[in-house]
Amino acid sequence: MKIVIIGDGKIGSTLAEQLSREKHEVTLIDRSGEPLEQSNNQLDVMVVEGDGASHAVQQEAGVDRADLVIACTGADELNLLCCLIAKKLGAGHTIARVRNPNYVEELSLIKDDLGLSMAINPEAMCATEMARVLRISSAIKIDTFSRGQVEILKLPVAEGSVLDGMALMEMGRLKAKVLICAVERGEHEVFIPSGEFRLQAGDHISVVATPVEAIRFFRQTGIARTRVRQCMIIGGGRIAFYLARQLLAAGMDVKIIESDMARCETLSELLPDASIIHGDGTDQQLLLEEGLEHMDAVVSLTGIDEENIIISLYAARTTHAKVITKINRGSYEDIVENLELGSVFYPRRICADNVVRYVRAMQASNAYASMETLCKIAGGKVEALEFSVTKEADYCGVPLQDLNLRDQMLIASITRKGKPITPRGGDSIEVGDSVVVVTTHSGIATLNDIFVKK
């Protein structure tokens, strides 16, 4: 597919990297030649320097022949204008990054008039994932499928846990209907495990379960599932606003510490039920005075990665709270992997995953099963994809044990008529099912892609 990305910032460069890796023809537009030069040297993309809202610049980039145009500059209004012009030029689909909460709420009214296929809000997406993790404090990461009926939860295997040394085929004795779909061991090893695979302390496991079965699994394995009642958010940016709004709606007490007085006043108006504190979130004495030691969760959301890392390290060593850290730079991943930063979120990746899912769904528009969800799990090394089976295919009605799956491929869940099924060899895929597939392969666009080609 031919894809044009307007804006070579954090989101734009991440999208260009992922989409070019999936063999799409990508062209980047930006006003500044410096980031474009870097992208041109590091990525397999074309670059055009100029104003993305310019008719002539868009034509030079081939927008009139583009299957998709993604506008992700730093200005919402500019992104909407770029998409409007691109649609007038003949682009097939358009996606705009829109971050202003006021615009987001009104966008549904004018989306069709703008010819907009999709609006992405990295901050809101990231906040939603953070709120999900805070619902179950033991989990490092939670992804949902089948409209919340199926979850993939990432958990550590503690030393002395009943899971330490257990083979997966022995998990039936726990009396919880769960499936371990991926195991991270050490810094680089990731497994799609078979029944003979034996867990060990230090592993991070990704568990497929319904919310009810997840609770039963926690109970059987002795994993604590404490409810978060008090949450401290350090940094009062957009993610903090979206997160606080969700946590307050869930009945939690929220305290936000922000260094900018004007922003504090704005947050006080937007979030009257939250406690807004004007101060330096890196000041340890201030954090203690504001009750850091008594918090159930601490979320580091300043605009500086280094500050977030320091705050989270301090919180992890001072409290028993659930710690969440926001990191913008992907280059920090190897550094932060072995630090006590709790759950680490990369907003640009979360946003990119949503766009990649949309692109793959475009590719598979005539397939037997449409892609509904795409999530990266196991540190981004494994993909979990949800497909909705829309019409009869060769694999329908065939027992799973008789299907010839590709290697490193696992059918993790089947949801039929609203009822999740933990798949066994005798189960089959039927029309109307929602199917979750876990794989180390990248680029899976249709359910047909998981089978060995005859």
CATH of domain 127-221: 3.30.70.1450
Q: Which helix (H) or strand (E) element contains residue 335? A: helix 333-336
pLDDT in tens, 124-169: 999 999 999 998 878 888 999 988 899 999 999 988 889 999 999 9
- Percent of the chain at pLDDT above 70? 98
Fold of 363-450: Alpha-Beta Plaits (3.30.70)
Average pLDDT, the chain: 91
Distances (CA, A) of 217 to 140, 173, 178, 308, 442: 16, 11, 7, 32, 30
Determine contact, residues 451/30, Cβ cutoff 8 Å: no
Q: Which helix (H) or strand (E) element contains residue 66? A: none
Determine contact, residues 390/157, Cβ cutoff 8 Å: no
Least confident interval from 22-26, 403-407, 450-454? 450-454
**127-221 and 363-450 in the same fold:** yes
pLDDT at 105: 73
pLDDT at 219: 85
Determine contact, residues 68/95, Cβ cutoff 8 Å: yes
- Percent of the chain at pLDDT above 90? 65
Res 412 pLDDT > 90 = yes
> In 81-229, which ranges are E strands?
93-97, 118-120, 141-145, 150-156, 179-185, 189-191, 204-209
**What residue spans define the domains of the chain?**
2-120, 127-221, 230-345, 363-450
Secondary structure letter of residue 198 according to DSSP: B
pLDDT in tens, 245-290: 999 999 999 999 999 999 999 999 999 999 999 999 999 999 999 9
pLDDT at 224: 67
Does the domain at residues 2-120 carry the CATH identifier 3.40.50.720?
Answer: yes
CA distance 68 to 406: 30
pLDDT in tens, 182-232: 999 987 889 999 889 999 999 999 999 998 999 889 888 887 667 899 999
CA distance 439 to 190: 11
CATH class of the domain defined by 230-345: alpha beta
pLDDT in tens, 78-128: 999 999 999 999 999 999 999 888 887 777 777 777 889 889 999 999 999
Report how many helices (DSSP H) and strands (DSSP E) the chain contains, helices first. 13, 22
Determine contact, residues 149/420, Cβ cutoff 8 Å: yes
